[in-house]
């Protein structure tokens, strides 16, 4: 019979976590994050930096600053992370017009992987201590601020891009927490190391990093391509480039993140290269059933079929050419989703207004959806920023 204990050695927690597939760990107490964090969250909400996320309310934000709200017997937080930088998977450069999906979403949905591994760690902790441990397993619920827990537990430090940067891993780490009723020696928070560097702020094509440590959600490509359910504001579309799900630019530019150790965790590997760099014509022509069978079990499902078709249209407008006008025209004429039809019309205007005008005028006559009609009207009246001047 193992001895029953309320405590566990800090180093042993990391060992057990590694055995459960959680390579990165930090420990902090379950004490409240208090008004320091609460004030930042409320201030960001009031300034509109979290607009577009209706669930991110002041009440929810304040609740999330006190882990004891989740379970009153909580004593410690074990912050965990799975690193996922894999430099071997690259754009195939095979002549196919491809978009980009951000790395965290290439493989199996990270929520599933983290939860499964946290459950395993929970079991290992119970057999180590010889007692039942009350624990909550949290990933992305916003019932706790994942990055605040990671920072206070010394798992990593806040970069100016608001990401948690982990020693030797950079920000290529997905985060979760176990809130447990056992005592574990807490770690010491790490000092931020960005120094004078502002490359992440400078690289963001939409200017979403409005200040050091401040992200304006409505401008972030990640928000626009994943969370937004409506039309992407036309003036911002040209800046989305080839991204069709999320964006990694503020991470890729970071010198610290750039020096990350490569990982070989198959759970983050794409099933095929099309799950990392999807052919844009494929995204436009697949029906909903094909979308589901291609992306089920991955985080891409969150953007939904209509969202991915919308994003693919924008990406074609940005990186495509006259050769893509035919498929765009077919999309405007017959895609079941108005979002896809409207954005495809925009893409036609962006690639070549002169060559697209006649077709768009005809499609305008048949179109019944007012949002698509006004997208076409905007193109025909020359409101769309052309990629290059038509000859
Ligand atoms: C809402 C959300 C989003 C929104 C808003 C992002 C945001 N910055 O808030 C959108 C959809 C845009 C988004 C985008 C992304 N997200 Co997100 N997102 C979340 C979520 C659900 C909540 C984040 C939150 O609380 N925001 C509130 C704001 C106020 O917090 P913050 O921006 O982090 O601000 C903090 C710092 O600025 C710091 N701070 C403030 N002032 C100062 C001053 C100094 C000197 C210092 C040091 C710090 C500091 O305190 C603030 C509060 O903690 C978390 C999961 C969770 N439940 O926590 C995932 C999470 C943050 N996202 C994650 C990821 C991976 C991404 C993307 C990289 C995805 C992608 N590739 O497209 C991008 C990155 C964009 C970016 N640079 O942040 C990971 C981050 C992992 C990591 N290593 O940091 C998380 C933790 C999910 C997870 N479980 O792993 N996300």
- With a 6 Å cutoff on the Cβ, whether 279 touches ligand 1 is no
* 140 catalytic residue (yes or no): yes
pLDDT band at 388 (very low <50, low <70, confident <90, very high): low
Residue of 51, 115, 162 with the most ligand 1 atoms within 8 Å of its CB, for mutation: 162
Atom of ligand 1 nearest to the CA of 174: 90
64 CA from centroid of ligand 1 (Å): 14
pLDDT tens-digit profile of 137-183?
Answer: 999 987 899 999 999 999 999 999 999 999 999 999 999 999 999 99
How confident is the model over 33-52, as a mean pLDDT?
97
Position 4 scores a pLDDT of: 63
Under a CB-based contact definition with an 8 Å cutoff, are residues 307 and 127 in contact?
no
In the predicted structure, residue 279 carries a pLDDT above the cut 60: yes
pLDDT tens-digit profile of 245-256?
Answer: 999 999 999 999
Position 386 scores a pLDDT of: 79
Instruction: Mark 63-73 as b/e (b = at least 16 C-beta within 10 Å).
Output: ebbbbeebeee
- Percent of the chain clearing pLDDT 90 (strictly above): 93
Catalytic residue among 23, 36, 39, 140: 140
Give the 3-state DSSP-derived string for the chain, with helices as H, strands as E and coil as C: CCCCCCECCHHHHHHHHHHCCCCEEEEEECCCCHHHHHHHHHHHHHCCCCCCCCCCCHHHHHHCCCHHHCCCCCCEEEEEEEECCCCCCCCCCCCCCECEECHHHCCCCHHHHHHHHHHHHHHHHHHHHCCCCCEEEECCCCCCCHHHHHHHCCCCEECCCCCEEECCCECCEEEEEEEECCECCCCCCCCCCCCCCCHHHHHCCCCCEEECCEECHHHCHHHHHHHCCCCCCHHHHHHHCCEEECCCHHHHCCHHHHCCCCCCCHHHCCCCHHHCCCEHHHHHHCCHHHHHHHHCCCHHHHHHHHHHHHHHHHHHHHHCCHHHHHHHHHHHHHCCCHHHHHHHHHHHHHHHHHHHHHHHHHHHHHCCCHHHHHHHHHHHCCCCCCCCCCC
pLDDT band at 391 (very low <50, low <70, confident <90, very high): very low
Atom of ligand 1 nearest to the CA of 227: 11
Position 385 scores a pLDDT of: 77
Higher pLDDT, 204 or 72: 204
pLDDT band at 52 (very low <50, low <70, confident <90, very high): very high
360 CA from centroid of ligand 1 (Å): 40
- With a 6 Å cutoff on the Cβ, whether 158 touches ligand 1 is yes
pLDDT band at 3 (very low <50, low <70, confident <90, very high): low
- With a 6 Å cutoff on the Cβ, whether 213 touches ligand 1 is yes
- With a 6 Å cutoff on the Cβ, whether 101 touches ligand 1 is no
Backbone angles phi and psi of 278, in degrees to 5:
-70, 135
Atom 31 in ligand 1: residue holding the nearest Cα = 162
Query: If you average pLDDT over every residue of the chain, what do you get?
Result: 95
- With a 6 Å cutoff on the Cβ, whether 63 touches ligand 1 is no
pTM of the model: 0.97
């Amino acid at each position: 019979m193992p001895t029953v204990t309320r405590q566990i050695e800090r180093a042993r927690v990391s060992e057990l976590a590694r055995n459960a597939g959680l390579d990165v760990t930090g420990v902090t107490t379950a004490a409240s994050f208090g008004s320091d964090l609460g004030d930042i969250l409320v201030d960001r909400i009031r300034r509109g930096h979290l607009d577009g996320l209706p669930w991110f309310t002041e009440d929810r934000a304040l609740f999330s600053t006190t882990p004891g709200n989740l379970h009153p017997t909580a004593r410690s937080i074990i912050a965990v992370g799975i690193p996922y930088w894999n430099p071997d998977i690259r754009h195939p450069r095979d002549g196919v017009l491809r978009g980009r999906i951000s790395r965290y979403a290439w493989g199996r949905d990270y929520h599933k992987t983290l939860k499964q591994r946290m459950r395993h760690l929970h079991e290992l902790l119970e057999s180590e201590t010889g007692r039942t441990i009350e624990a909550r397993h949290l990933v992305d619920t916003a019932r706790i601020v994942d990055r605040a827990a990671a920072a206070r537990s010394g798992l990593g430090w806040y970069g100016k891009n608001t990401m948690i940067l982990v020693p030797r891993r950079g920000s290529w780490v997905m985060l979760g927490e176990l809130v447990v009723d056992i005592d574990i020696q807490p770690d010491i928070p790490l000092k931020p190391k960005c120094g004078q560097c502002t490359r992440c702020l400078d690289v963001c094509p939409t200017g979403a990093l409005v200040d050091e440590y401040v992200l304006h959600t409505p401008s972030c490509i990640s928000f626009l391509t994943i969370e937004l359910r409506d039309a992407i504001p036309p003036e911002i579309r040209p800046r989305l480039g080839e991204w069709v799900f999320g964006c990694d630019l503020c991470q890729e530019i970071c010198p610290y993140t750039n020096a990350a150790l490569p990982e070989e965790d198959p759970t983050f590997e794409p099933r095929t290269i099309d799950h990392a760099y999807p052919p844009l014509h494929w995204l436009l022509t697949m029906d909903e059933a094909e979308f589901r069978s291609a992306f089920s079990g991955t985080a891409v499902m969150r953007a939904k079929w209509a969202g991915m078709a919308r994003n693919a249209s924008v990406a074609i407008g940005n990186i495509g050419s006259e050769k893509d006008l035919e498929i765009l025209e077919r999309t405007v004429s017959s895609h079941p989703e108005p979002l896809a039809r409207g954005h495809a019309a925009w893409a036609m205007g962006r690639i070549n207004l002169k060559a697209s005008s006649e077709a768009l005028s005809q499609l305008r006559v048949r179109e019944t959806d007012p949002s698509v009609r006004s997208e076409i009207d905007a193109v025909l009246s020359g409101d769309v920023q052309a990629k290059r001047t038509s000859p």
